[in-house]
Each structure stands twice: as structure tokens, then as C-alpha cells.
Structure 1
Amino acid sequence: MPKHKNTNIKPYKLKNGQKRYWFRIYLGMKGGKKVETSRRGFKSYDEADAVYKQLAAEDAQDYIKQKQITFDELYHKWLPFYSQNVKESTLWKTETLYKNHLKDQFGDQYIDQITTAEIADYFLDLSAKLVKYKMVFWYMRRILEHAIDINLLSRNPARASLLPKKTSVKKRRDVAHNFYTADQLHQFLDTAKEYNERTYIYFSILATTGMRKSEVLALKWSDIEFNKQRIYVQRTTAYGENGAYITQLPKGNKKRYVPLDDKLAHELKHYRRDLSDKLFHTAKKDYLRQSKPDQWLAAIYAKDPDLKKITIHGLRHTFATLLNQAGVNPKDVQAILGHSTLDLTLDVYTHSTPEGREKARAEINKLF
């Protein structure tokens, strides 16, 4: 084994017996004081030597001494700033993500000792286990970026260039077929009606307005404007801090109106059976949990095994596809769905159908 030239780099062992390297380096004088720093956690001598040389090239006058705080302490410094600009449900998801994926791995480490190589190894491993591994990475990068903002780090070790490009985890179901044709939708709603009225009304609203699952669960009777033939979408159910079930603004923090068709309006007027302000509620008049529609969907498919199976969100895809096929202006479809961009409406929520292609053929015949 060749002798290592840099004697400032020294080996040590972790509790599990694995070998690591560390060093302390003198950078010069600043303001009459010595400027020194240390790094540890390197898996190889060469990795430690590369960082040592990079630090040695720095001017002591420009060097920002990195404070000894842990990643968990940094996270709790960053969280109050982050929480000011996100919804409660997003904050809860962020806290859950941190506890599940980042705290155990990096929480007890000093931020100036977390290396780029260590981060790269962790996310390479995570990419083989988690579809949304990139989301975890970008949260870590944002937390470390906060350390730079408050003068605790001079550089961010979470280098985007080292993030794995793909995951080997099996992706979610293919959404290219996650929608109904008009005939399939009528068959589905007929079966829902046979099951019970509440289920039928819930899925009818989804299918004829394009609303999201949790937006329909959050509807109040005051949101339905029968005289204007529209429904005001101004809240959604969600899980907040400590798993509390709450309502908040719809996705994108934007309220919107969706059209109310004549048939659904007629059926809604005959649906109300009590004085609750909510369309869908428990015996105690609370909002139904988001798992309830999944139970209804399973019951519908059990009642008619011949039905094509799609997700509840697939009814939103169905709505967009059928309107697009009918020639409705895509910008209007975008507004109804509450999408921020037209590309999302066209690329994700509208699908090519045999009926649509046949309609195109007929139109081409007229033109030529």
C-alpha cells in the first residue's frame, strides 16, 4: 500500500468498525487570530485529501468559520422560516419526510462535517428504495442552503450534480389508461346509483365537475349556487400538524368556480336529508375522512366486476378528456380544473381515445 503523503489526514473507526478519515487544517491569520477548521467522515484518504487541498487554497481573509451545530439543530432553525409560506398540510408532510428519511441519517452530525460524498452515497441508496427520493434531496439542500444564509456554512455539500437521475423502484400505475370513455362512465355511475344515493352523488360531482377527491369531501351546501349553475370550490380536506384532520384552501391556494349541470343540480336538490351544512359528513356532522371514497369505490367494483377499474383521481382525467374530445376550449378546461398551466391540462389530464381519433378523421374528411 502506498504511503500517504499528507500526514494531517488521519484514520479513525466508527462504532460499527468502519474506517473513516479526518483532518484539521490551519488556513492562516484573520483579525489577529488563527483560522483553523476540521473535517471528518471521509470514506477514503483520497476523498479527504481532495477537500483538504480545496480548503488549503482558500484565503483566510475570505474564510467563514463554520459553527458546530448539528443538522437537526439547523433543521429547527430553518423550519420557522419555511412554515411561514406553506399550508399546514404541506408543513406536516415536510416534518414527516424529515423524520422518516433525514433525521436518523444526518440529524446528529455537525453540519460542517457532512460531506458531499456521504450525501451522494445516501441518495444513491435511497433512489433504489423510494420513488420520491428527489423530494427528500431538495429538502435537504434547502435546509443546508439556510445555513449559508445565516452564515453557518460557506458552501452547500448537497451538490445537485450528484443526485441520481432515475429510481429503480417500480413506478406508480400507468395513468395513460386511467380514465373512462363516456359509455364506461355511464356504466360506472349507474352501478354507483344502485349501491346507494350518497355514493352516486359523490362520484357524480367528481365526474361532472373535475373536482379533486378532497375538494368534494369539503363541500358545504352554501358552496352550491343553484341560481348561477355553479359550485364554488374554496376548501379541501387535509391532514395537518400531528395528523389533525383540517380544511384549507384548495391546491395552489386558489379558489375557483366549476359548472353545475342541470341533471346534477336536480339530483342535489333531492339529496339533502338533514340540516347539516356539509354535503358529506359523519353521524357527528364531521367531515368524512379521505379513506371513505376509496371504500365506496371498492364496493362499486365489487357490485359490478365487469367495470373497468380506475382510481378516484381517474374521474378527473375522465372529465378533462371528455371535454377536450367535445371541443371545449382547453383554457376553459384549465380554469375549471384549477391548473396553473395549460401544459399540465393537456399533457397529463387529457388522453387520446379511439372516439377522438375517429372524430378527427371525420373532420379531416370535411376539410379535404
Structure 2
Amino acid sequence: MESSQYGNSQNIEIHHIITSKRTENGRTEMAKAWIVDEWLRDDAPASARRLLNAAKYPERVACRIPERYRKARFGRGKRWRVQWFENGGRKTGRSFAAKKDAEKMVSAISDDQYSGRYINEADRNRTFRDVCGEYMAGKHGVKHSTLRGYERYLRMYALPMWGGRAVGSITRAEVSKWVGELRDGTAPHDFKGEREPRGQLSENYVKNVFKATKMVVNYAKANRLILDNPFDGVELPRDNKPDDSMVFLDYAQVERLAGACLPGDDLLVRMLAYTGLRPSEMMALHVSDLDFAGRRINVVRNFTEDKSGRQVEGTPKTWEVRQVAIPAFLVDDLRAHCHGRDADWYVFTSRKGKRLNLSNWRRRNFSNAAKRAKLDDIPGLRPYSLRHTYASLAIAAGCDVKTLQNAMGHKNATETLNTYAMLWPDRLDEVADALAENRAATLSARHCTPNADFIE
């Protein structure tokens, strides 16, 4: 149900309000709204009220109303005031020039009492910036790197657009228009301290900005600051083209890339391509995380960023630890690589023996190796592409969805399917042929033909 609007000469919009009052025992109970005559005292006779009510120009009959029946505000401002108690016991009100409009207001409040559509006016009028700050301050269960991403989207796009707006005044039509402006690159923005995007924003980038902003408004709705979320039901842009951000190498390309790497990096490339770990997880591996006898990697940490953007150790992306198999052909090389290293130190380090920084390694080592391997002409090739490569090679080798989910560390199988569904081969003919074979074998075992009648 949408907000009601009651027509009068001032086009006053009636918002969803419920009334309450505190009883002596401290409980909150419903209290009806009431109308107060701001001009006449309670003991004014009916004749005086009728005279004033019937006058088109009240000031012309004011002289006929005795002073003892007049209030201090007589003749000034709007005559009728609706009053009620908001949540918390604060009395509030709204003034009207015509009594019929005040009565409509009282009816609207009464309706909201029964429908449960309770929104404090003060809450609804809180600014998006205020609600955003409160929401972000309470995000204690989110990784710092994820939080920094949210803050960036909100600072660059959401706050310039909605920061000063009352959270309850944002409409779905405005949100839809904003999404279009984001896509076209014409939305209000603040790129201070940030690299300015070139051209149109991508579909995924718009979705990320939209998601971060919607979470703030979801918070407002969950805390009864607004009744409905104007971001619900807004259509997001679709590029209608395949996702070219995922690159899949074949075995020969993986080996070419590894062969073009500096000593030590060749093993790192193969481990990324043949185990499926995230680069941040691989670089955070300790020697003690490797079980050579069982050919397992215990993925218990990764590299992430703290509030200031510094690289620190944290838990895996989905907060879940997991075990990943080490291909047999890598075990000996990996054991030799770790020989003499302290169990609590990193498996892969820089030439100086320090922990790797993914950005630096990509720029200084990976990119140069890709050029030497003549793979730098592949658009979007990056260290994370080796994780996608593992998924494609595993699926081609017959890996099922659940096994791949566990290996990749996805939160659920749906995420795995949404990401890699196009890699599973079309097996319709294979399934149909298997059904035919099983049917024939079953009928043959029963010594019957397809058209035979079965008699009990």
C-alpha cells in the first residue's frame, strides 16, 4: 500500500504514522490523534464557533468574537492542528487551514493504527548520509577489504546523489533514472582521490554501486525508518554479451606461461592453474599448510587488506577453511621448493625472502612472463585467470558441481553454477543413449519385448 495523499488547496501529503502513549506502568498503548482549535478556547460557545466556521474571511468577523474566548494565536496562522504521540512518547502535530483536512489526517492515523504502517516522521526525514554512516559503523562481520569497496562505491556515487536527501523521500522512479545515469556516466559523482572511470560504467560496476547503496536503504527499512525500499524492483542494465573477464588457458598455454617465468614463479603458476586457489590464498600459504603425504593443501588463510589498505593475513573469502588436492606431478617439485624453509613461513616469497604482494607480483613478474610466452595478446589475462583455468580443466576432466564447489571454496553450488555453467558439456545425447541402453538391458533380463502384455 502506497502513501496516502489527501487533496486540499495545499496538496498536503499524509505519511504513515501510528500513535502511542505511555501508561503509568510504562507500557506503550495506542492513543488516538486529536484536533486542537488554535484560535478559540475550549469554553467558547457554539455560536462563536459557527460564526467563525462560516466566515469566508475570518478577520472580518473577528470583532464579533469576545476576547475572553480567543487564544493567543487567534487570527494568526492555520487554525486547526492535529496532534499525536510518536514512538518514544514525543508529541508532535501538523496544522491545517481547513478542519476537513485535519479530519482526514486523523482518519489516516487511525487507519495506520490498524494496518501497522508505523513510521516516525523524524525517522523518515533522516538523511541518507546519516543512515549510511550508521549502517557502515555497524558492519562488524565484513572483511576490511570488502568494507573498503563498499565505502568507495558509496563515497564516489551514492553520497553525491542521495547524501542530503531524506531517506524517506527517495522514489523508485528516481532510483531507476539514477541507474541509467550511472550506466551512461552522467550520474553525480565525487572522484576525489580516485581514478576517474573512462567512458560508460560496466554492467558489473553499476550493479556493485547499486548493491552497496541498496544495502543502506535495506538497513533503513529493517529499522523502520522507511516503509518500503525504493530500490526493490528496479531493473538493472544488461550488456547482452558474454563475460569476457574470465580467461581460460589450456594445458599448453599454462606450461608456456610457467616456462617463461623466473625460478620459483614457474611453480607458483602451475600451483595456481592446477589447484584452483585464489592468488591471495596461494601467496598466504605457510609451509605447515601442506600435507605432502596426503597430497592436500589446508586453506586456512589469505591475504586481505585492513582499514588503511595494508596487506594483512585474514581468513579465506567465504570464512570457511577447506582442503584442496595437490596433483601428484607437483608434489616432488613443491617438496623441494619448501626444503629448508621454516614451517611457519610462506611457501612462495620474493627474491629477498619476504612475503609476496599480489599487485607487485602481477606487475613485475606475471605480466613480463606473459609477454615472454607471447600470451600478452589475450585480453583480461591476469593471475586470477589461472583459477578460472583450473575450473575449466577440472570440468573437462569430469568434475561434478559439488566437488568443484568445495575445491574452489564457493559459498554454495549455486555460485559455482552461476560462474561456470557454460563450461559443462552438453550431455543430452549421452544421457538419452544411456537411458536406451539401460532400458534394453532391463527388458532383455525379463525376457520380454516392449509391446508384450504383462499379466498379473
Could you say which TM-score interval applies, normalised by the shorter chain?
0.7 to 0.9
Partner of 1:142: 215
Equivalent-residue separation in structure 1 for 2:264 and 2:81 (angstroms) = 72
Secondary structure of the structure 2 residue equivalent to 1:109: coil
2:262 aligned with 1:196, yes or no? yes
Letter matched to residue 296 of structure 1 = N
2:83 aligned with 1:29, yes or no? yes
Letter matched to residue 232 of structure 2 = A
2:310 aligned with 1:235, yes or no? no
Secondary structure of the structure 1 residue equivalent to 2:208: helix
Counterpart selection for 1:66 from 121, 125, 139: 121
Partner of 2:133: 76
1:203: how far off? 0.7
Of Structure 1 and Structure 2, the greater helix share is in: 1
Letter matched to residue 289 of structure 1 = L
Letter matched to residue 340 of structure 1 = K
For structure 1, which segment, 63-72 or 97-106, has the greater mean C-alpha deviation from structure 2 after superposition?
63-72
Matches within 5 A, 1:260-271: 260-271=326-337
2:391 aligned with 1:312, yes or no? no
Structure 1 residues 294 and 332: alpha-carbon distance in aligned structure 2, compared to 1, 3 A threshold: farther
CA displacement, residues 113-169 of structure 1 (integer Å, 9 cap, x when unaligned): 434443332222113343232333333333233334444x342352422x2332469
Structure 1 residues 9 and 186: alpha-carbon distance in aligned structure 2, compared to 1, 3 A threshold: same
Structure 1 residues 179 and 29: alpha-carbon distance in aligned structure 2, compared to 1, 3 A threshold: same
Equivalent-residue separation in structure 2 for 1:124 and 1:269 (angstroms) = 54
Partner of 1:224: 290
Partner of 2:3: none
Secondary structure of the structure 1 residue equivalent to 2:272: helix
| Contact 1:235 1:248 (C-alpha < 8 Å) held by counterparts | yes
| Contact 1:321 1:351 (C-alpha < 8 Å) held by counterparts | no
Secondary structure of the structure 1 residue equivalent to 2:369: helix
Partner of 2:35: none
Letter matched to residue 303 of structure 1 = R
Equivalent-residue separation in structure 1 for 2:321 and 2:210 (angstroms) = 31
Structure 1 residues 306 and 280: alpha-carbon distance in aligned structure 2, compared to 1, 3 A threshold: closer
For structure 1, which segment, 265-274 or 67-76, has the greater mean C-alpha deviation from structure 2 after superposition?
265-274
| Contact 2:221 2:229 (C-alpha < 8 Å) held by counterparts | no
Equivalent-residue separation in structure 2 for 1:289 and 1:307 (angstroms) = 18
Secondary structure of the structure 1 residue equivalent to 2:121: coil
Please, what is the CA RMSD of the aligned residues? Answer: 3.8
1:238: how far off? 1.9
Structure 1 residues 346 and 171: alpha-carbon distance in aligned structure 2, compared to 1, 3 A threshold: closer
Letter matched to residue 108 of structure 2 = E
Aligned residues: 322
Provide the TM-score with structure 1 as the length reference: 0.73
Matches within 5 A, 1:1-368: 7-8=9-10, 28-31=82-85, 35-36=93-94, 58-59=108-109, 62=113, 64-67=119-122, 68-81=125-138, 83-129=139-185, 130=201, 131=203, 132-151=205-224, 153-161=225-233, 163-167=234-238, 172-173=243-244, 175=246, 178-181=247-250, 185-272=251-338, 275=341, 277-282=345-350, 283=352, 285-293=354-362, 295-305=364-374, 309=378, 310-346=381-417, 348-349=419-420, 352=423
Secondary structure of the structure 1 residue equivalent to 2:265: helix
1:222: how far off? 1.2
Secondary structure of the structure 2 residue equivalent to 1:280: coil
Partner of 1:13: none
Q: Which protein has greater RCO, CA pairs closer than 8 Å, 6+ apart?
A: 1
Provide the TM-score with structure 2 as the length reference: 0.60
1:205: how far off? 0.5
Letter matched to residue 404 of structure 2 = V
1:255: how far off? 0.7
Secondary structure of the structure 2 residue equivalent to 1:164: coil
